[in-house]
């Protein structure tokens, strides 16, 4: 019997397997030197480069990001829960008009505001979300109430506002969310949407240059992970449009066995690709580190998603990746790390 062709075939198959494995699996990162007791990562949205903002905006965003990080870090340092840290960090960011969440929620095509938010508990996969709320000052807290006070996961539009009223959360008039800057952005994006090429064809609308959604992932001293996200969505979005931020598995995910994730960017991309869940799935099914998973999703799929991801693994490792010119983010942990970054 001639073994040579068979041997050649076996060698060829082995080479193919080795080369596809190494191409698909990004390089592993170092694990934290010492086991971390707690860790937290926050984002203030992906989008334009901070170089294009005014010095005042840059300073303001940096200051609020640092204050939010400190708030979350202190809760965790004192033995508080990751869920409390996530909720309190996001509430603080929702109250600053420089971020596209709560007070600073962008305008939809009608010049109104519809806010989305979600939160997830990695210890038991409990989750809660609200979509398209119009009167809720801090949607993240209402999302948490959906998780703890109902048997549902997602409440939307008028029903969600009504639930907020029943729960006694702070409600506000739509005017509370409106700023001159949002009106200017809306007009700019609407103007862009009317632009035609020389043949009279409408040009595709460019994504808004500055997103500003907020999110947080935390690991507490009890070993529990949690994640949350809050947004006003995309400027000039169609009335009733719901993005990824209130969709668990798209914009937010947490599972103690793997990681906690919050996403930002063009929501439709994140929904189509179930990105937040995919970070966890790559860790669970392929055994990848959180950095490998996040890097793979952002870098290998640039044609399908536009935005950024923050993720925190059960061992306290933090991963941040984005394919936009900038992404505000902040990280802290029990080793004393405390960092705030706006650009690359």
Contacts of 307 (CB under 8 A, 6+ apart): 46, 211, 263, 264, 265, 266, 269, 270, 322, 323, 324
Beta bridge partner(s), residue 310: 262, 320
Which among 3-11, 29-37, 216-224, 239-247 is the span making contact with ligand ASP, rule CB under 6 A? 239-247
Shortest reach from residue 139's CB to ligand ASP, in Å: 12
Q: Which residues are catalytic?
A: 213
> Quick one: 241 exposed, middle or buried, by C-beta within 10 A (0-12, 13-18, 19+)?
middle
Which among 31-39, 157-165, 181-189, 241-249 is the span making contact with ligand ASP, rule CB under 6 A? 241-249
The residue (of 38 and 211) whose beta carbon lies closer to ligand ASP is 211
Residues 129-168 as x/- pattern, contact with ligand ASP by CB under 6 A: ----------------------------------------
45 part of the interface to ligand ASP, by CB under 6 A: yes
231 part of the interface to ligand ASP, by CB under 6 A: yes
What span, in angstroms and rounded, lies between the C-alpha atoms of 202 and 204?
A: 7
Give the helix, strand, coil percentages of the chain, each rounded to 5. 40, 25, 40
Length of the chain: 344
Tell which one of 26, 243, 316, 326 touches ligand ASP (CB under 6 A).
Answer: 243
**Around Cβ 13, how many Cβ atoms within 10 Å?**
10
234 part of the interface to ligand ASP, by CB under 6 A: yes
H helices present in 200-274, as ranges: 267-272
104 part of the interface to ligand ASP, by CB under 6 A: no
261 part of the interface to ligand ASP, by CB under 6 A: no
244 part of the interface to ligand ASP, by CB under 6 A: yes
What span, in angstroms and rounded, lies between the C-alpha atoms of 187 and 230?
A: 23
Beta bridge partner(s), residue 341: 329
Which among 28-36, 183-191, 198-206, 230-238 is the span making contact with ligand ASP, rule CB under 6 A? 230-238
What span, in angstroms and rounded, lies between the C-alpha atoms of 306 and 68?
A: 25
Give all strands of the β-sheet with 307-313 in edge-to-edge order: 252-254, 259-265, 307-313, 318-322
Shortest reach from residue 280's CB to ligand ASP, in Å: 18
245 part of the interface to ligand ASP, by CB under 6 A: yes
The CA-based angle 329-206-298, given to 5 degrees, is 40
CB 74 within 8 A of CB 19: no
Residues 177-216 as x/- pattern, contact with ligand ASP by CB under 6 A: ----------------------------------x-x---
Binding positions for ligand ASP, 291-330, rule CB under 6 A? 307
Which among 121-129, 153-161, 172-180, 258-266 is the span making contact with ligand ASP, rule CB under 6 A? 258-266
Task: Summarize as ranges the residues that interact with ligand ASP (CB under 6 A).
Answer: 45, 100, 211, 213, 231, 233-234, 243-245, 264-267, 307
């Amino acid at each position: 019997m001639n073994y040579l062709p068979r041997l050649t075939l076996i060698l060829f198959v082995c080479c193919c397997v080795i080369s596809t494995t190494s191409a698909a699996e990004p390089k592993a990162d170092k694990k934290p030197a010492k086991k971390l007791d707690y860790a937290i990562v926050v984002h203030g949205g992906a989008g334009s480069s901070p170089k294009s903002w005014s010095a005042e905006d840059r300073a303001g965003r940096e200051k609020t990001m640092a204050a939010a990080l400190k708030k979350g870090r202190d809760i965790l340092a004192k033995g508080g829960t990751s869920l409390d840290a996530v909720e309190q960090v996001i509430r603080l960011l929702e109250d600053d008009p420089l971020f596209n969440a709560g007070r600073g929620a962008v305008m939809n095509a009608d010049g109104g505001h519809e806010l989305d938010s979600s939160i997830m508990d990695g210890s038991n996969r409990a989750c809660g979300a609200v979509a398209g709320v119009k009167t809720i000052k801090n949607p993240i807290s209402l999302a948490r109430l959906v998780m703890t006070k109902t048997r549902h996961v997602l409440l939307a539009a008028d029903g969600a506002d009504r639930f907020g009223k029943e729960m006694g959360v702070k409600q506000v008039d739509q005017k509370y969310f409106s700023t001159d800057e949002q009106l200017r952005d809306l007009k700019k994006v609407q103007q862009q949407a009317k632009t035609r090429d020389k043949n009279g064809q409408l040009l595709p609308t460019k994504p808004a240059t500055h997103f500003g959604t907020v999110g947080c992932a935390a690991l507490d001293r009890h070993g529990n992970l949690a994640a949350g996200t809050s947004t006003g969505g995309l400027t000039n979005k169609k009335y009733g449009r719901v993005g990824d931020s209130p969709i668990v598995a798209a914009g937010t995910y947490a599972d103690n066995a793997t990681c906690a994730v919050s996403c930002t960017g063009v929501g439709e991309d994140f929904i189509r690709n179930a990105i937040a869940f995919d970070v966890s799935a790559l860790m669970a099914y392929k055994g990848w580190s959180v950095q490998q998973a996040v890097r793979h999703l952002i870098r290998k799929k640039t044609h399908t998603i536009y935005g950024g991801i923050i993720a925190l693994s059960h061992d306290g490792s933090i991963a941040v990746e984005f394919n936009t010119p900038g992404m505000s983010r902040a990280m802290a942990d029990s080793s004393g790390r405390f960092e705030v970054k706006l650009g690359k």
